[in-house]
């Protein structure tokens, strides 16, 4: 596939990803999302392998993947067609399930925000 980038979090980022914001950790979700994932997505299709780390906190996964769907300039359609998250080791499947849950929650949040805008509802 032309323009495809394979990212292994353990190989290309850290075996101990932790923290949500840059000030939390050298290997934060914000750093991975902004410095690794978003630049790759701007180039085309991206496959992200979650396997091989010492684990993930829920906040890290949500901070990367859930936030990607709510706080960036990519459309939901673009992300659905250009981002694949997978595990190469089935023992890490629980992390993949969590990522899909955070993405689904972010999509529902986006729908709710659009409905509120359409009807002039303010928070």
- Per-residue pLDDT tens digits for 97-110: 999 999 999 888 76
Rounded-to-integer distance, Cα 62 and Cα 97, Å = 12
- Per-residue pLDDT tens digits for 37-83: 999 999 999 999 999 999 999 999 999 999 888 877 788 899 999 99
Q: Which residues contact 13 (CB under 8 A, 6 or more apart)?
A: 7, 27, 32, 36
pTM of the model as a whole? 0.86
Which one, of 91, 30, 93, lies nearest residue 65 by Cα? 30
């Amino acid at each position: 596939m032309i323009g495809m980038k394979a990212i292994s979090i353990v190989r290309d980022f850290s075996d101990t990803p932790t923290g949500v914001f840059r000030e939390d950790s050298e290997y934060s979700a914000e750093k991975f999302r902004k410095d690794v994932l978003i630049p790759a997505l701007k180039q085309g299709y991206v496959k992200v392998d979650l396997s091989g780390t010492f684990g993930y906190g829920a906040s890290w996964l949500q901070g990367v993947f859930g936030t990607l769907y709510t706080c960036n300039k990519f459309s939901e359609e673009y992300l659905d067609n250009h981002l694949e998250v997978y595990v190469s080791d089935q023992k890490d499947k629980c992390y993949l399930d969590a990522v899909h849950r955070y993405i689904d929650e972010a999509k529902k949040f986006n729908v709710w925000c659009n409905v509120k805008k359409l009807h002039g509802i303010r928070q």
